[in-house]
Structure 1
Amino acid sequence: MIVKTLFDYMDLSSWLLLGFALLLLLDLVRNRRPHNFPPGPWAMPFVGNIFTEINDKSLAKLAQEYGPVFSLRRGSDRMVFITGYKTVKEALVTQLDSFIARPIIPLFHVTFKGIGIAMSNGYMWKIQRKFANIHLRHFGAGQRSLENYIKVESNYLCEAFKEEQGRPFNPHYTLTNAVGNIIASVVFGHRYEYNDNSYRRILELDNEAVLLAGSAISQLYDVFPGLMEHLPGPHQTIHSNYKQIVKFLTEEIEKHQEDWDPDNPRDYIDVYLAEMEKKKDDPQAGFNTEVLVVCTLDLIEAGTETVATTLRWALLYMMHYPEIQKKVQEEIDREVGQSRQPVLADRPNMPYTDAVIHEVQRHGNIVPLGFPRMANKDTTLGGYFIPKGTVVATSLGSVLSDKNEWETPEKFNPEHFLDSEGKFLKRDAFLPFSAGKRVCLGEHLAKLELFLFFSSLLQRFTFSAVDGKLPSMQAVMGFTYSPQEFEMLAIPR
């Protein structure tokens, strides 16, 4: 009787209020923090901490308040952040098998589909990564073959800079094209001219997608994919860009299939086609055309964007620190001279140049959050319980600026990588490529490229600002940290 009377008095507003209260209660029950789960700031009902900025400064503040292991809620999912060298090392190296899985990231899952090299898991990931690693390390004559490709491309790059005749120009896509040509030679068996609009367009589309992936609206897609896929925004541009890139890669693979000679493999695609024949009875390994497209995309993207961005930072630092640029050039002149190109064998005799490159990577902090991982088993880290399936981000930026590991973490200082005698000094906390079983597949190739491209450019040019106005050092936050677009002068030496 009382319930009936209560119902008689309730109007639409009352029903809506009751419904909201019930939903709020359900949200509180469903999203209770698990026992001994890493702490974090209060999360808003339904949406969690989606308004909390995720960058180096905000993460440093949260780590200061909650400790090196803390969590944020995005929608109904909790994400754990791991900061500082000791804790990141414990997660990636000491607990080698605890955080090797990749989560489903809706923004990228549309294209990468949980297959290929970067986003796959389990047996497929192990087989595909091993296959790619073997090809990268033993391509042609191995390291010597890769070095020759980079030396040839360095010449093309320097000639392109020389053609600017000391006038102001933006080096962005010339650098990207040069770096992209190295992985293109490995994957496709050939390079592309810098005026090849088809390949340049692919590089531009990829760069735009990487930048847009860091926007707040794009990240909302990961929280509410069902809603966001029907709304306009940068996430739609990302998906459109990847569709065009996939179309380009598919056409390249089809060309290879038309004139494929299994007895004379030319590149990664050719050896992959051969492996598809060998692995017909092992479908779980994933050797098929669909996976090949994604693997090719993985290699092109990972082998271009980060190295090209690092080189852009390097030129920017040289403009801001002309005294450092001069010391690099003096070392090159002393150890190499002007009659030949720098080669990899010169690196042990060029500790200052090597230190400058490493400091660009450290201070430039290209991939501050690494790539998301997932706990593939229940584990404990920093005294907190992290259940299987929890998404985890290891803050590489916090490692590269850890005050306990670096003498002047906020300052661009090549001395971080030199001992008291001026010899190159390896640092344990230098982890721009991450660590553990998911360490960057292209680390070896990237180091080759950075040394040979950078030393060749500094051998032949002095870089300075246009009209003495130094470009901004403020980074653009995308999936990577990249410099703002800038123009420079490349004065032949």
Structure 2
Amino acid sequence: MELSLLLLLALLTGLLLLLARGRLKAHHPLPPGPHPLSFLGNLLQMDRGGLPKSFLRLRERYGDVFTVYLGPRPVVMICGTEAIREALVDQAEAFSGRGKIAVLEPIFQGYGVIFSNGERWKTLRRFSLATMRDFGLGKRSVEERIQEEAQCLVEELRKSQERIHKEIDRVIGSHRPPALDDRAKMPYMDAVIHEMQRFGDLIPMGVPHTVTKDTHFRGYLLPKGTEVYPILTSALHDPRYFENPEAFNPDHFLDATGALKKNDAFMPFSIGKRICLGEGLARTELFLFFTTILQNFSVASPVAPEDIDLTPQAVGVGTVPPPYQIQFLPRQRG
């Protein structure tokens, strides 16, 4: 009896392994990657420091485009500025599908402008853009409302000369600055904000895309429905576009004359058809909040700057800033 049960279990295990292997082979030819285990895929090979670090480590071995199995599901990782732009800009339509994030799927269920696809997504995107314009996006009225909120923040900060802020980069945002009237007078400020965004990428992997049709990409065939992750942090820290990518240096965004310069690797909120809809509003908020704070306060830390560790903490596919203290010291009014 025991022998028969063992034989039955062995047979079932063998069949399951064959089925799993068949599912994995059915997706070839995809880009190369680490050999997956049945059912678990490459999950056991992921770094404890977080998924983005694991993928950057795999990039060193397999190049800018490789395949990782998250469980039995193959996912193509795209790293580096050129590869990401080639996919999301040069082949924008083919990579315009939206993949699923398992923990969020029960909530959104394919709805919403971020997670929808096809005609539903196009309709929602047009509606969202029209609604944002109706609310005054890009007009002076929106800037005035943001300035009112910024002044409220300043008054709150004035109530205490020392205030602990665990998520100050959430207050000042993670987007590019706007084209305001006095922008030409503040290129260095713009460069500082750009550099803050480069280090403050909240979703270093980007939101997943899916291929909308069978597509040839860098010598590989990506069948329709293949899930793709653009690893945005690999562009934001690309040594081919930033002289010292791991150092905070606003000069990364300034030319020899001190003017703000464009950098193709700067994509904190993705690029292409799925670029963040709220980027314009967010960069206006960032610029106005940040400049209002600096006009009213000197910002300091109770510890030496070289002792501050601002390394983001991995949380799933995203990151959050570590807790730290910051002081807002009111400037003397003259």
| TM-score of the two chains, using structure 2 as the length reference | 0.90
- Please say if residues 269 and 276 of structure 2, whose CA atoms lie closer than 8 Å, have aligned partners that are also in contact: yes
Name the CA distance, whole Å, in 1 between partners of 2:71 and 2:54: 19
Offset at 1:76?
1.8
Q: Does 2:126 align with 1:125?
A: no
SS at match of 1:367: coil
Aligned mate of 2:224, from 388, 393, 402? 388
- Please say if residues 143 and 284 of structure 2, whose CA atoms lie closer than 8 Å, have aligned partners that are also in contact: yes
Match of 1:20 in 2: 13
Please give the per-residue CA displacement for 1:221-279, whole angstroms capped at 9, x wherever unaligned. xxxxxxxxxxxxxxxxxxxxxxxxxxxxxxxxxxxxxxxxxxxxxxxxxxxxxxxxxxx
**2:147 is matched by which residue type in structure 1?**
K
SS at match of 2:299: strand
Offset at 1:142?
4.4
- Please say if residues 166 and 321 of structure 2, whose CA atoms lie closer than 8 Å, have aligned partners that are also in contact: no
Please give the per-residue CA displacement for 1:359-401, whole angstroms capped at 9, x wherever unaligned. 1111223321111110011101121111100111001100111
- Rate the CA distance shift 1:11–1:171 in 2: closer, same or farther, 3 A: closer
Match of 2:22 in 1: 29
**2:53 is matched by which residue type in structure 1?**
K
Aligned mate of 1:361, from 175, 182, 197? 197
- Please say if residues 355 and 418 of structure 1, whose CA atoms lie closer than 8 Å, have aligned partners that are also in contact: yes
SS at match of 2:181: helix
Offset at 1:476?
1.5
Aligned mate of 1:106, from 93, 102, 105? 102
- Please say if residues 417 and 424 of structure 1, whose CA atoms lie closer than 8 Å, have aligned partners that are also in contact: yes
Q: Which has the larger radius of gyration?
A: 1
Aligned mate of 2:262, from 426, 432, 439? 426
Name the CA distance, whole Å, in 2 between partners of 1:142 and 1:94: 28
Name the CA distance, whole Å, in 2 between partners of 1:16 and 1:78: 28
**1:70 is matched by which residue type in structure 2?**
F
- Rate the CA distance shift 1:403–1:76 in 2: closer, same or farther, 3 A: same
Match of 1:116 in 2: 112
Offset at 1:171?
5.5
Aligned mate of 2:181, from 334, 339, 345? 345
Name the CA distance, whole Å, in 1 between partners of 2:138 and 2:199: 31
**1:477 is matched by which residue type in structure 2?**
A
- 1:182-331 counterparts in 2 under 5 A? 308=173, 310=174
Name the CA distance, whole Å, in 1 between partners of 2:321 and 2:251: 23
| TM-score of the two chains, using structure 1 as the length reference | 0.62
Identity of aligned residues (%): 40
Match of 1:484 in 2: 322
Aligned mate of 1:41, from 30, 34, 37? 34
Match of 1:472 in 2: 309
Name the CA distance, whole Å, in 2 between partners of 1:140 and 1:436: 24
**1:425 is matched by which residue type in structure 2?**
K
**1:115 is matched by which residue type in structure 2?**
Y
Greater percentage in strand? 2
- Please say if residues 157 and 163 of structure 2, whose CA atoms lie closer than 8 Å, have aligned partners that are also in contact: no
Match of 2:83 in 1: 87
| Structure 1: runs of 5 or more not aligned | 1-7, 180-306, 312-342
Name the CA distance, whole Å, in 1 between partners of 2:163 and 2:278: 32
**2:293 is matched by which residue type in structure 1?**
L
Name the CA distance, whole Å, in 2 between partners of 1:146 and 1:426: 26
Offset at 1:40?
0.6
**2:155 is matched by which residue type in structure 1?**
E
SS at match of 2:114: coil
Match of 1:371 in 2: 207
- 1:137-156 counterparts in 2 under 5 A? 137-140=133-136, 142-156=138-152
- Please say if residues 56 and 398 of structure 1, whose CA atoms lie closer than 8 Å, have aligned partners that are also in contact: no
Match of 1:74 in 2: 70
**2:5 is matched by which residue type in structure 1?**
L
Offset at 1:17?
2.2
Match of 1:437 in 2: 273
- Rate the CA distance shift 1:462–1:410 in 2: closer, same or farther, 3 A: same
Q: Does 2:249 align with 1:410?
A: no
| CA RMSD across the alignment | 2.3
Name the CA distance, whole Å, in 2 between partners of 1:61 and 1:16: 38
Greater percentage in helix? 1
Name the CA distance, whole Å, in 1 between partners of 2:2 and 2:204: 57
Name the CA distance, whole Å, in 1 between partners of 2:43 and 2:137: 49
- Please say if residues 363 and 411 of structure 1, whose CA atoms lie closer than 8 Å, have aligned partners that are also in contact: no
| Structure 2: runs of 5 or more not aligned | none
Aligned mate of 1:162, from 158, 165, 177? 158
Count of paired positions: 324
Offset at 1:141?
7.5
- Rate the CA distance shift 1:350–1:43 in 2: closer, same or farther, 3 A: same
